Amino acid sequence: MLNTISQIKILLLLVLSSCLFISCMQKGYIKTSNGQFVQNGKPYYYIGANYWYGGLLGNSEAGKIRLQKELDFLAGNAVNNLRVMVGVEGSGEINGVQRVKPALQTRQGTFDTSRLNGLDYLLTEMSKRNMKAVLFLSNNWEWSGGFLQYLNWNGLIADSVLQRKLSWDENRDYVSRFYSCEPCMDAYKKQLELVINRSNSYNGKKYVNDETIMSWEIANEPRPMRPTAIDDYKNWITEVAATIKQLDKNHLVTTGTEGDIGTETMEVYKQVHADKNIDYATIHIWPKNWAWFKGEDVQKDYDSVVIKTKNYINKHVAIAKEINKPLVIEEFGLPRDNQQFTLQSPVVFRNSYFKEIFTIWQQSVQTNGPIAGCNFWAFGGTARPRAGQVFWKEGDDYMGDPPMEEQGLNTVFDTDADTWKMIRSFTQILKN
C-alpha cells in the first residue's frame, strides 16, 4: 500500500497533468478541414470584435493599462477573436483627414520597428486570455496610409493631391493603379516580410510560431476599384497569398474583402477565394455606406435592411459551400439610433441588427455550416466621444470609428449594457 507521501505526489502529478492537458487543449493553431475551422481537431466557432487600434495601445504605459482593462472586459464577455491592424504607412493628412499614428513605415522602405512593440504587447496579453488575432497587413482606405500612400511614394499621386479630399471617382482611379505599380507592390511586400518574420519583443516568440495569431489578412477591404484593374487585382491576391504561405506554414491566410460589392462581381469573389493559398472567405456588411437606408433614420427602412443583409450573406454562403471553405462575417455595423454620437443615445436598431446576424451565425454553428465567425464593428472600450466634437483630433483616444468617420457613430462602448447582454446570450453557447 502506498504511503501518504506517495499518494500526495501521485495526486499532484495528476493535477499537474490535468492542468497541462487543459492548457494544451486551449492552445493550438486554427486550421481548416472540410469547410470548417478546427482547433485541436474540434470545430472552432467564434464571436469576435474589430479592435483595429489594439496594436497601437501598447506603445505607451497608459495605453497598456487601457489595453489590459479592455481585454479583460472582452474575455469576460467571451469575445475572444480580435481583428487588428498591423501598422501604419506614412504620416500626416491624407484624403482630407489626419491618418492614425504612429507610423510603422515612415518612408518607403524605412521602418520604425519599435512601433511593433505595441502589437507584441497586444499579442502577449491576448495569449494570456486565450484569444486569437486576425492581423490585416495594409489598407485599401486612407486612414492608415495604405495603398494611396504607396502610390504617393512612387510618384503616382502628388503630395498636394494626396492631402486634399478626393472625390469617389478620383479615389477609385488612383487606388486601382496600385495593382499595376510594381514598386508599390514591392514596398507592400517588404512590410509584409518584416512583420511575418518578426520575433515578439516581450516573449521572444516568432510570429510564425505564435498560436495567438489565427490568420494573416492581405489588407483591409482590398478592392480592384475599377473593372479595368480586376485581372491585376486577382494576380496580386494570388501572389501575396503564395508569399505569405512560403514565409509561414502555420497560419491561415485570407483576403479581407467585403464580398461582391468589393470585388465587382460574384465570379471575381469566387475566384480570389478559391485560390489554394486562401484558407477562408470574408464578407463585410455596411447598410449605411451602401445606402440600404435613407438619411439618418434606419427605422423606416429597417425591415428592408434585414432582408438585404440576409440575401447578401446567403449568396456568399453559397460560394463558401461551393469552394468548401469557411466564411467569416468580419465587419458589420449600424449607427446609434438617429445617428447620435453620445453614450446616452440608444442603440435599439443596432442591437436588433446584431441579433439578426448572430442568429444566422448560431444556426451555422448548430448545423456545422460554413459561417464560422462574426467580428462586429467595432469595439471602442473605455474611449469616449468628446462633447461637441464630431471627428477625431490629435490626442483623442482611438475608438472603433477611424478618423474620417464620426466618432462614436458605429462604436460599441463598454457602457452599452444591452448590447453586451445580447452578445453574451450568443457567446454562451460556445461554453456549452
* Cα–Cα distance for residue pair 364/358, rounded to 1 Å: 10
**What is the per-residue pLDDT across 47-98, written as a single tens digit (0 to 9) for each?**
999 999 999 999 999 999 999 999 999 999 999 999 999 999 999 999 999 9
**What is the per-residue pLDDT across 141-152, written as a single tens digit (0 to 9) for each?**
999 999 999 999
Residue 334 has phi, psi (to 5 degrees) of: -150, 140
Q: With H, G, I as helix, E, B as strand and everything else as coil, classify residue 5.
A: helix
Written as tens digits, the pLDDT of the chain (432 aa) is 445 444 434 333 333 333 333 333 347 999 999 999 999 999 999 999 999 999 999 999 999 999 999 999 999 999 999 999 999 999 999 999 999 999 999 999 999 999 999 999 999 999 999 999 999 999 999 999 999 999 999 999 999 999 999 999 999 999 999 999 999 999 999 999 999 999 999 999 999 999 999 999 999 999 999 999 999 999 999 999 999 999 999 999 999 999 999 999 999 999 999 999 999 999 999 999 999 998 888 889 999 999 999 999 999 999 999 999 999 999 999 999 988 888 888 999 999 999 999 999 999 999 999 999 999 999 999 999 998 899 998 889 999 999 999 999 999 999 999 999 999 999 988 875
Length of the chain: 432
- pTM comes to 0.93
Q: What is the CA radius of gyration of the chain?
A: 22
Q: With H, G, I as helix, E, B as strand and everything else as coil, classify residue 115.
A: helix
Write out the three cell numbers for 321: 459551400
190 within 8 A of 224, measured Cβ to Cβ = no
The DSSP symbol for 358 reads: H
| The 3-state secondary structure of the chain, one letter per residue | CCCHHHHHHHHHHHHHHHHHHHHHHHCCCEEEECCEEEECCEECCEEEEECCCHHHHCCCHHHHHHHHHHHHHHHHCCCCEEEEECCCECCCEECCEECCCCCCEEECCEECHHHHHHHHHHHHHHHHCCCEEEEECCECCHHHCHHHHHHHHCCCCCHHHHHCCCCHHHHHHHHHHHHHCHHHHHHHHHHHHHHHCCECCCCCCEHHHCCCEEEEECCECCCCCCHHHHHHHHHHHHHHHHHHHHHCCCCEEECCCCCHHHHCCHHHHHHHHHCCCCCCEEEEECCCCCCCCCCCCCHHHHHHHHHHHHHHHHHHHHHHHHHCCCEEEEEECCCCHHHCCCCCCCCHHHHHHHHHHHHHHHHHHHCCCCEEEEEECCEEECCCCCCCCCCCCCCCCCCCCCCCCCCCCCCEECCCHHHHHHHHHHHHHHHC
* Cα–Cα distance for residue pair 298/333, rounded to 1 Å: 12
324 within 8 A of 278, measured Cβ to Cβ = no
* Cα–Cα distance for residue pair 36/56, rounded to 1 Å: 31
User: What kind and span of H or E run contains 76?
Assistant: helix 61-76
Q: Go through the domains of the chain in sequence order and give each one's CATH number.
A: 43-431 (3.20.20.80)
Contacts 24+ apart (CB under 8 A), 419-422: 419/347, 419/350, 419/351, 419/354, 420/77, 422/351, 422/354, 422/355, 422/358
**What is the per-residue pLDDT across 296-354, written as a single tens digit (0 to 9) for each?**
888 899 999 999 999 999 999 999 999 999 999 999 999 999 888 888 889 999 999 99
395 within 8 A of 402, measured Cβ to Cβ = no
In whole angstroms, how far apart are CA 368 and each of 38, 228, 372, 430?
11, 38, 9, 13
Strands (DSSP E) found in 297-389: 327-332, 371-376, 379-381
* Cα–Cα distance for residue pair 44/273, rounded to 1 Å: 20
